[in-house]
Structure formats: C-alpha cells, structure tokens
Structure 1
Amino acid sequence: MAKSLSAREMKKDSPHLKRFYYPLDQAVEKPFNWKQMLRLLEYLKPYAKKLLPAAIFAMLISTIVRLVVPILIGNVAIDRAITENNVSLLTYLIIGISILYLLSYVANMFRIKWVNILGQRVIYDLRSRLFSHVQRLSHNFFDKRSAGSILVRILNDVNSLQELFTNGIINLLMDVVMLIGIIVILFALSPPLALAVLVILPIMFFISTKLRRNIRRSWQDVRIQKSRLNSHLNESMQGIRITQSFSQEKENTEFFNGVNTDNYEMERVAMKKSAYFGPFVEMSNAVGTVILISFGAHLIITGDIGVGTFVSFAFYLGMFWEPISRLGQIYNQLLVAMASSERIFEFLDEQPNVKEKADAKEFNDMKGHIEFDKVQFSYNEDRIALHEISLEMKPGQTVALVGHTGSGKSTIANLISRFYDPTKGAVKIDGHDLKDMKLTSLRNNISVVLQDTFIFSGTIMENIRFGRPEATDEEVKAAARVVGAEDFINRLSKGYETEVEERGNILSAGERQLLSFARALLADPRILILDEATASIDTETEVKIQQALKKLLEGRTAIMIAHRLSTIREADKIIVLEHGRILEQGSHDELMNRKGEYYDLVKSQFDMLDAL
C-alpha cells in the first residue's frame, strides 16, 4: 500500500520521484543576471515609441504632483498662509492642490490603462515566440522532457512575468523617481534632519542584499516543483483508463498528495523568505519616525527649522518608506521573473539538432527514390539503433520493414522524415542528401500514419484537412471516401461537422486510424510512411484499405512497418531487420523460398494463429 509522502520524504533519490527529476530541469546557483534581465526587457522595444513613453509621461505627472503637494502644505500653507493669516492665499492654495490631485487622478488612470495594455501585449509576444520556437525543435528535445514540464514553461513561467510587465517596470521607475525626488527635497529643506532620518538606509541595504540570493533560489525551486506537479497531472489524466483498470485511484491520489505537499512546502518557504522584507521596512519607518520627532522637535526649539518644514518632513518621510516597501515587492517580482526567464530563455536558446543549412535547396518535383548510404544512428551513446546499413527504395515501390521490437524499423522512418540526422553516413532522396534540403520542402512531400494516431479537438472535417489546410470540402470527402471512412462519418449525428473532442474520444481506435489515413492521403505525398498503421483496424476494414491503397500508392514510394505480416505480402520489397542490421531483403515469395529469418517470422505467426 502506497503512503502519502511528506515534504521531507520527497528526496531527489526517492524512487517515487525519479520520473520527475530531469537533468535539464534543476535549480542552478547563479548571481543575478542583469544581462538576462536586459534581454527580457527587449520585448518592450516594439512598444517603445507609443505605449511606453505615454505610460512614463503619465507616471511622471502623478509623481511630480505627489512631490509638490507636501511643500505647498508645509512651506506655503502653514509657514505663510496660516502664520500670516492670509485667507486668500490659503483659498488659492486649496483650489490649486485640488486641481493637482485631479490631474494626478487622470494621469494615474491612463497610466494603469496603458501599462496593462503594454504588459498583455508583451506577454502575448513572448508566449507566441516561445510556442513557435518549441514547435520547431527536434524530436531529441521532446525525448528528454515530459509534456508537463514544457507546458509549465509556456503557461506558468510566462504568466509569472505578467505582473512585472504590467506594473513592475513602471512602478520601479516611479518609485526610483519618487525616492530621488524626496531625498533631494529633504536635503534642500534641512540637511541635518535629512541625514538623521535616513541613517537607517545603509543597514537596510546590507540586510536586503544578504536575503537576495536565498530568496531567488527559493523561487527557482518553486518553478521546478510546479513543473513536476504539472508533469504528474498531465501523465495522470492521460493514463486515467489504466489507473481505473488496475483500481489504483487511491494510490495515485496519495502519490499526488506527496508531490503536492512538496509544492506547498516550497511555495510556503519562498513566500516566508519574501515576507521578511515588509516588516523590516515597517521597522525602519518606525525608527525614522522616532528620529524625526525627537530631532525635529529639537531643531524647531532651536529655531533651525519652522513648523511647516517639520510637517513637510513628516509627509515626505511617510511617502519615503512607501516606495521603499514597494521596491521590496518589485524586487520579489524581479526574483520570480528571473527564475522564470531563465527557464524560458533556456528553451529559446535551445537549437534544433536537425539544422537547416542557409543555402538549403527545395524539392521541386520529388520522385521518391530513397537511399541509405552506410547509415549509422544512435539515440544515445549507450545503444546503436542502426549499424551502417545501406538500402534502396525505388520511386513507386512499396517497401515493408519487418523485425522484432527494437530492430530499427521506426528509426528508418524517422530518418527519412529527418526527425533525426544519422550519426554516420547519409540519407538521400532523389540523390540529394537530406541535410542539404529544406525541411519544409521535404516534409511537405511525406505523410506519416502512426499506430497511435493523434486526433485534434475539432470537427471531422478539420482533422482531415489538417493534412492540407487549403483543401476544399469535396477533396476532404473524397479522401475519406477512398479510405472507407465515409461510412462511419455519415452515421455520426453531424457528419463531417461532428466535434470529436480531445484526442478523438468519441471515436473508436479503428475510426481514428481511418481519419489519419484520410488526412495523410489528402496531403498527396510522394512518400507515404505507414508505421503499424493498420494495427487498430479490424480485418474487414483492413481489406478495404488494402484495396484502396493499391490504387492510391501508384507512383508513390510507400514504407510499411508491420508486425502483422499478412498485411505486407503484396509489397515490392521486404527488408528484414534485427538489432539495427539488415538480415535479408526481397519479395515475399523470394524470402519464403530462402527459408531464412522472414520465413521463421511468418511461420511462427501462422503457427500462433493455428493454435488459436
């Protein structure tokens, strides 16, 4: 019986958590990276001519108003109007201050509006760029990371920057201007009193600097743990049928509670450390107030300052600690933003393993002549998937790849689509090394149908049209009709406009496979790769598809990967693989006459059927 894991039990070496600890997803001790922060701020450039200047101008107006009003109250209202009993001056002063506050209100209203528009646009641009970049990365990138950890960076990490861009940057400028303005005014009013009330600043700076590294590391840990939590949620939802089949709901919930507890603990620690700054500012404010009252009263008695100056000092001192406190909050935002931006830029800096040359060529009229010239390939250094194999697939041929699991069949298909590049040797189509050709040009001429086909949320029509977005409705229906999918589509309540829901949940496995056939055929490829494509289709449907394929594969090169050997009898060439090596190749009849490995595979499969 699994038990709920406490935060202390959530160790890196725990066997329960090994799948959530990724080598490329760890917290790293680094100093605050100002270069990276400047890189983040570059996303403001498109809005540096209109929105940003307008927001800064509105901020300056409201800040200047706040700086001017205490002078008017202390030095004009108290020291002149009230002391001299000048009613008219006091009246004009009240009207003037009211107008200034109204101006400040309007400026703040527009500032808030503009910075929110600015922040939302920057977040939109950053998320769009990140998603677009991730889509172009090689399969090797996705092999090393869970879908959940990628989702966290595109959603949560980008969202965590929203507060920085909508409020943090403008507030930072406003508070800096406010602090500089207050300090200048305080020293202009009374240098001795200014020095006395600001003596706490060096101590405050020293303590906050000490906290900085610790707080930043805590927020890094929070981001990483959120990634693990999201990974587990994503995996749990996708595997819910397996969980229920084995009645593991309780155990799975308890495991989630352990991961969730660790997330809670890391959030709590980060928030606790971040909260230290607020009370410290309040304490500094209290110390400054005590100094102001005691030393300020002394200066009034000695006649060095007037009552109005003292009142102005009181206003400015109260205003001084407010931006100091906000700067602490902004600094926390910067720490969160730094932790998130590190993870975002890690993805943006990731380069595809499969790179396209600057002078890459187009396939203008692909024939489909495929050659493997002494190709060796390894997914990792520990195991070689293909051992310097050489093979040829002529245009229009149907070539079947057979062999046990792990023999290299799918690897060959992946290399043809250039999802990976060979470690040694070359893969050529029509005599061109694929490394010299444009990826889009290559993949536009190839369609792939997998055993575990993916159906997107949307309608039947939209899913088939995914293979060629510009196709007409009639072309979509024609493709569905050819592969035998139209029969079940017409039985659906809305036909081609039926919503299939997430991953095509309303469809059976065979129906989803038929849709993937229609999608691939609509793309009109020169090369068609069928990777266990008929495994989920019943025998009757398979016969219909085989009949349709005979006509549709004319003039196309087809690569069929199948364990059910009955589906490849009509292939022009059958290549038998074992541990990344070619054992034999030829037609079905030729290989059966040799009575080699293929003969044994066929015999063992039919013996199993006879036994049933």
Structure 2
Amino acid sequence: MLKLIAHVLKEKRKALRLPIILMSLDSVGSMLLYIMLYFTIVKLLHNTLTGEIIITYSLICLGAVVFRLIIYRTGYYLCFARGAEVCAQMRLDLANHYRALSLGYFNRHSSGALLETLVKDITNFELIITHTLPALVKTAVTAALILIGMYCIDVPLAIAQTITLLVLVPFLHWGNSLAEHFGNEKHRLTARMISIVLEYIKGIKVFKAYNLTGEKFDRMLYSLETVRKTNIKAEIKLSLPAAVYFIAAHFLLPLALLSSVYILKSGSVSPEKLTAFMLMSLALSGVLISFEHAYGLLKGLKPAAEHVQKAYTAQPLPCLQTAGTAKVTTGTTVGETRQEQSQPFDVSFEDVSFSYREPFHTFQNQSGESNTERETDGAKQTAVLHSISFEAKQGTVTALIGPSGSGKTTIANLIARFWDPQKGTVKIGGKDIKETEPDTLLQSVSAVFQDSILLSDTIYNNIKIGKPDASESEVIAAAQAAQCHEFISELSDGYNTMLAEGGAALSGGERQRIAIARALLKNAPIVLLDESTASLDADNEWKINAALDTLMQGKTVFVIAHRLNTIRNADQIIVLKNGRIEEKGTHTELMQKRGTYFEMIQEQQKAAGWEVAGN
C-alpha cells in the first residue's frame, strides 16, 4: 500500500516528508508525559514526593505539552497545506493527462467513474496523505517506543506482550481484507450511481416529455438503495474482526496484571518498574486501537489510490516522432490571408479500418432481470470503417454523406486524431499524423460538430477559445461573420453574458453560430463541419454559408451533411455505406453513374414534396 502511495505521488512525496516527521515527533512528547507520571508514582511509593519535585515535574510536563503543541501544530498545518497543494496539482495533472487520451478511454469509462476518480478518489487520496498516513506513522512510532521501554524494564514481560501483539495480526489482516473488498465494491457502485444521477438530471426534460420520470427515478432509487445496503453490509461484516481486535488489544493490561502476581512473588522486578510496565501496557492498548483505525481506513481507501494510479497510467496517444514537427500558424484575423505554412495540408486515408472498443458490464435490475451496461472490463469490437482510402487536397471541399452509422463522423474524428485506426494510415501533408504531437495536430484543425459544446463561461470567452490571444475586435469580427453578433448584443450583458449548463438558455441555432464563430476565429488550415448548419433557420443559413465560404478559402474542408443540396458544389463527394466507400466523385459524376448518390438525391426530392394531410 505504501508503495502504491509512493508510486502515485512520485516526486510530490518529498513535500510530505517534513510534516510526517514532525507529527511523528509528537509521539516523543507524549512518551515524556508517561515518563514523568512514572517518576511521580515512584516518588509517591517511596514517600519522597516534595513540593519542589512536583513543581519541577509540572514544568517538565508543561514543556512537553508546549513542545507537542508546537510540533503537532506545525506538522498538522504543513501536512494539510502541502497535502492540499499536492492533490490540487494531481487534479490538474490528471485533467491534463485526460487531454492526451483517445476518445476510446472515455467511451470505456462512464462519466460517473471519471468524475469519481477526478473528484472523490483524489479527495480520498488527500485524506490518506493528510490524515491516515501521518496517524499511521505516528502510532507505529509510539508503539515502537513503548515496546522498547518494555524490553528495557523486563524482557520476559515484554516478550509476553509481543506475543499478544502477534495474535492481533490475523484479526488486523482479516478486517483490512474485508475493508479493501468492500472499498472496491463501494467504489464500483458509487461510480454507477453517479452516472445514473447525472443521466437523470441531464435527461429530466426528455423523461418528462415521455412520462418516464417515474421509471427513471426508480432506477436511480434502486442504485442509491444498493449503495446504502452495501454500506450497511460492510459495517456489519467489519464489526466482527474490529470487535475481536478491540478486545484482544485491551487484553494487554489484564495480561500484565496477571503476570505481575508471579513477578512480585519472585522479586525479579521492583514495584516501581512493574508500575511503569502497567502504564505502558495501558498506553499500548490505546495506541493499537488508533493504529487499527488508521490502518483500516488506509485499506478502505486503497481503491481510491488504485483508481488514481490507473488513470495516471492510461496510455496517451503515442507520438512516433517528435523531431521536425511541422509548424502551424493559426488564429489569423477573420478574412485575412493566411501566412505561408511550413507544409501542405492535404489529407489522405490509406486503407484505414477502425473499430470501436465497447466493454460491457452485466448487472441485475430491480426486478432481477439481467441488463448490460458499459463498464471498464471486457471488450467487444464494433467495426465502423473498412479499408477506407481517399485523398483530399488543400483548398478543396470533401463532402461525406451516407446513412446514420456509415462512418462519416468517425472519419472526422480520425482526422483530428481523437482515435487511432487499427489498420492503415491517416496522413496530413504526406506525413503520418502519429508522427505529429497531438497538441500540434489539433492546432491545425477547426471543428464544428452537430452537438455544439459551450462551456459555463461568458460568450466572449467561449468564442475566444478559438484564439486565446485574440483582441476584442477580432472576437466581435468572428461573431459578426457567424451572424451571432446581433443576438449577442441584444442580451442584457452582451458578450459578458454567462452561459450556464453549456448554454442551455440559448437555442440550438444560437449555440451553433457561437461554435462557428469560434472556428472562424481559430482559422485553422483543416476544417471539419459536421452538420454545422443543421440547427439554423432558412433566414440565417445563407448568411452562415457565406461566412463558411470565407472560413473555407484555401483550406482542406470536410463537410458531413444529410441535406444533399448543401454539398452539390463540393470538389469531392464520398458516399459511405456500412463503413465502406460506395461511390466517390463530383455531383455531376455521381449523378451520371445513377448509383447510390443518385438514389439518395431522388429520395430527398420526394421527401421535400411531402405534406401533412389536411381534413
């Protein structure tokens, strides 16, 4: 366990050495109080206790208390302050590490599990390094000092006490094995409970619309009840070894008393030393109880440390070669001619195949029926793309069309290297994207997805994400080009309006236009548009298309669209079906083939003439 903590902390553990040492020194001060009590009892037994001696002993005890106060206060403050700093940095490091992972990692782990690791597990880990570990070290040092004192007084008696301590070990191991087991179980159930609660909160609008609030609430209630029952079961199971250990630890003093009868008769130990031994036995019992509590808590929190370590050791997307990475210039003013790039931004797929890895976990619902839920163990491969090959030249527009699930968005994700294909190569400028640092690659890509994600921040800062060092005039210019300046200006706080819950107060079209403004501001050489105008009304669509025309000039553009009339002028149209390329060419070429694309055009034209029947 200590190795696990050291592995998670790495270099950060150096910051915790001094506070733990200081808190351990507190045990020396506590032992001094017992020593003075022993001397006082000796003086009483010999009837030599005077007022002067009492004052001297009292001053020594007062000094010990002051020493403990200073040492403990300093160690306590440093332990908590440095522990908080370490864990705050751990959260930042872990969040930064998450950025380097593929989207597959987030698909394999529920939002509840990720949230629990980033928030609760690190909070529990902070509890380990600020409370549990110092307490464990302190009690261990105190117990060692007491045992040394016992052996100095009488070896046979000390051996008897040591044997009693060894008897405690199996009960300590038993209880802590149970604590670790239930710790893992509670962690798994809590992560699932958080996911269900988040789902309920986020989906409450849909649940109300379909009258599912009762059903979904029952599912959440069942999850909460499962966690409650597991916690109660854990306490019941842990109570037996804890009780046995508690009784055995308190048997140290009766053992010393029983032994004293024989020792006093034999005359091998003086009454004074025997009195000291009794005091030490009493102190040792209390220390052992504290040790069991700290050690049990440490084992119970072990899953938190394991999950933090597991998150840290998740492998990021590899970079095969870091030297000679292409320089990318992004963030020029909207409409400004881009400076010369150090490489062309042609995009090519060479025999690319890709499968999503989908792990599943089986559990039983309230009625005992078996259900399947995504979890972290096991895996099922879902093939999405099969031997995809094409090339998109810089300065051209490539449209990706096809039915839902045909692999359109997956291709866009592979270009941005949110995933790595299992087979084949994705190249930009003739270079495998695996040879480019992920951050450098993402600098060259602007994306507007169908589901626009806005942060809980001001509208101004949401647009500025595209170019963090942009001036106010550049942000406003991007908003004007994206046709969102007008509605932003009408808000009470304008660009300083705070967006709560990802911009839930805005319409879908307004959120989409802000996302487009963000992409316009970034002005990257590769543009991914996934149904970017799907949420816009007809009045604004032509304005947005004009802005997109400005955005797309001289760039490698990929457009994912279901409305085929929006991509007729594309330089290349790729028709996907079941993860394979069915057809490829311009609108004119594909219409002449009278194949899948031709049929899709015919179907949409029929749909356009459909009307709701009247009475």
Q: TM-score by structure 2 length? A: 0.88
The answer (yes or no) to whether the contact 2:457–2:498 under 8 Å persists in 1 is yes
Are 2:67 and 1:103 aligned?
yes
Structure 1 residues 372 and 41: alpha-carbon distance in aligned structure 2, compared to 1, 3 A threshold: closer
Whole-angstrom distance in 2 between the partners of 1:163 and 1:425: 47
Structure 1 residues 555 and 254: alpha-carbon distance in aligned structure 2, compared to 1, 3 A threshold: same
The answer (yes or no) to whether the contact 1:73–1:308 under 8 Å persists in 2 is no
Aligned to 1:368, the other structure's residue is in SS state: coil
Moved more, 518-527 or 76-85: 76-85
Are 2:358 and 1:368 aligned?
no
Whole-angstrom distance in 2 between the partners of 1:574 and 1:45: 56
2:526 maps to 527
Structure 1 residues 200 and 422: alpha-carbon distance in aligned structure 2, compared to 1, 3 A threshold: closer
Whole-angstrom distance in 1 between the partners of 2:209 and 2:250: 63
The structure 1 residue matched to 2:15, chosen from 32, 47, 66, is 47
The answer (yes or no) to whether the contact 2:176–2:300 under 8 Å persists in 1 is no
Are 2:472 and 1:473 aligned?
yes
Can you list the C-alpha shifts for 1:381-410, whole angstroms capped at 9, x where unaligned?
755423323222222112211111122211
Can you list the C-alpha shifts for 1:272-316, whole angstroms capped at 9, x where unaligned?
344445433431244222233343255446544444334323322
RMSD over aligned Cα, in angstroms? 2.3
Whole-angstrom distance in 1 between the partners of 2:8 and 2:230: 25
Are 2:264 and 1:287 aligned?
no
Q: Please state how far the C-alpha of 1:418 moved relative to its aligned partner.
A: 1.8
Kindly report which structure 2 residues correspond to 1:178-577, keeping only aligned pairs within 5 A, or say none. 178-297=142-261, 299-300=263-264, 303-353=267-317, 355-359=319-323, 361-364=325-328, 365=341, 366-380=343-357, 382-577=381-576
Whole-angstrom distance in 1 between the partners of 2:161 and 2:14: 43
Whole-angstrom distance in 2 between the partners of 1:64 and 1:552: 71
The structure 2 residue matched to 1:171, chosen from 122, 132, 135, is 135
The answer (yes or no) to whether the contact 1:79–1:307 under 8 Å persists in 2 is no
Are 2:104 and 1:140 aligned?
yes
Aligned to 1:322, the other structure's residue is in SS state: helix
Q: Give the aligned residue type for 2:13.
A: K
Can you list the C-alpha shifts for 1:468-519, whole angstroms capped at 9, x where unaligned?
1111111011001011111111111111111111110110000000000000
Whole-angstrom distance in 2 between the partners of 1:512 and 1:356: 37
Q: Please state how far the C-alpha of 1:122 moved relative to its aligned partner.
A: 2.3
Moved more, 545-554 or 454-463: 545-554
Q: Give the aligned residue type for 2:442.
A: R
Whole-angstrom distance in 1 between the partners of 2:256 and 2:383: 76
Q: Give the aligned residue type for 1:189.
A: I
Q: Give the aligned residue type for 2:464.
A: R
Structure 1 residues 552 and 120: alpha-carbon distance in aligned structure 2, compared to 1, 3 A threshold: closer
- Number of residue-to-residue matches in the alignment: 576
Q: Give the aligned residue type for 2:22.
A: F
The answer (yes or no) to whether the contact 1:43–1:122 under 8 Å persists in 2 is no
Can you list the C-alpha shifts for 1:506-549, whole angstroms capped at 9, x where unaligned?
10000000000000110011111101111111111111111222
Aligned to 1:503, the other structure's residue is in SS state: coil
Q: TM-score by structure 1 length? A: 0.88
Moved more, 128-137 or 184-193: 184-193
Q: Give the aligned residue type for 2:606.
A: D
Whole-angstrom distance in 2 between the partners of 1:361 and 1:114: 43
Moved more, 265-274 or 159-168: 265-274
Q: Please state how far the C-alpha of 1:219 moved relative to its aligned partner.
A: 1.0
Aligned to 1:415, the other structure's residue is in SS state: helix
Are 2:14 and 1:56 aligned?
no
Q: Give the aligned residue type for 2:389.
A: S
The answer (yes or no) to whether the contact 1:81–1:89 under 8 Å persists in 2 is no
Structure 1 residues 553 and 203: alpha-carbon distance in aligned structure 2, compared to 1, 3 A threshold: same
Whole-angstrom distance in 1 between the partners of 2:438 and 2:19: 44
Q: Please state how far the C-alpha of 1:454 moved relative to its aligned partner.
A: 0.5
> What are the ranges of 5 or more consecutive residues in structure 1 without an aligned counterpart?
1-32
Aligned to 1:421, the other structure's residue is in SS state: coil
The structure 2 residue matched to 1:127, chosen from 91, 108, 111, is 91
Moved more, 201-210 or 144-153: 201-210
Q: Give the aligned residue type for 1:468.
A: K
Structure 1 residues 291 and 584: alpha-carbon distance in aligned structure 2, compared to 1, 3 A threshold: closer
Whole-angstrom distance in 2 between the partners of 1:388 and 1:123: 45
Identity across the alignment (%): 27
Aligned to 1:200, the other structure's residue is in SS state: helix
Can you list the C-alpha shifts for 1:107-152, whole angstroms capped at 9, x where unaligned?
2222221221132122223222222111210011112222121111
2:4 maps to 36
Whole-angstrom distance in 2 between the partners of 1:400 and 1:211: 62
The answer (yes or no) to whether the contact 2:18–2:75 under 8 Å persists in 1 is no
Structure 1 residues 288 and 566: alpha-carbon distance in aligned structure 2, compared to 1, 3 A threshold: same
The answer (yes or no) to whether the contact 2:83–2:126 under 8 Å persists in 1 is yes
Whole-angstrom distance in 1 between the partners of 2:250 and 2:392: 83
Can you list the C-alpha shifts for 1:259-280, whole angstroms capped at 9, x where unaligned?
1111112222333344445433
Whole-angstrom distance in 1 between the partners of 2:13 and 2:462: 38
Q: Give the aligned residue type for 1:372.
A: F
Kindly report which structure 2 residues correspond to 1:2-13, keeping only aligned pairs within 5 A, or say none. none
Whole-angstrom distance in 1 between the partners of 2:42 and 2:598: 107
Whole-angstrom distance in 2 between the partners of 1:109 and 1:444: 49
Aligned to 2:505, the other structure's residue is in SS state: coil
Can you list the C-alpha shifts for 1:532-567, whole angstroms capped at 9, x where unaligned?
111111111111111222233221221111001121
Structure 1 residues 476 and 88: alpha-carbon distance in aligned structure 2, compared to 1, 3 A threshold: same
Q: Give the aligned residue type for 2:166.
A: P
Structure 1 residues 158 and 275: alpha-carbon distance in aligned structure 2, compared to 1, 3 A threshold: farther
Structure 1 residues 383 and 190: alpha-carbon distance in aligned structure 2, compared to 1, 3 A threshold: closer
The answer (yes or no) to whether the contact 1:464–1:515 under 8 Å persists in 2 is yes
The answer (yes or no) to whether the contact 1:354–1:420 under 8 Å persists in 2 is no
The answer (yes or no) to whether the contact 1:370–1:392 under 8 Å persists in 2 is yes
Can you list the C-alpha shifts for 1:419-455, whole angstroms capped at 9, x where unaligned?
2233333222222222222222221111011111101
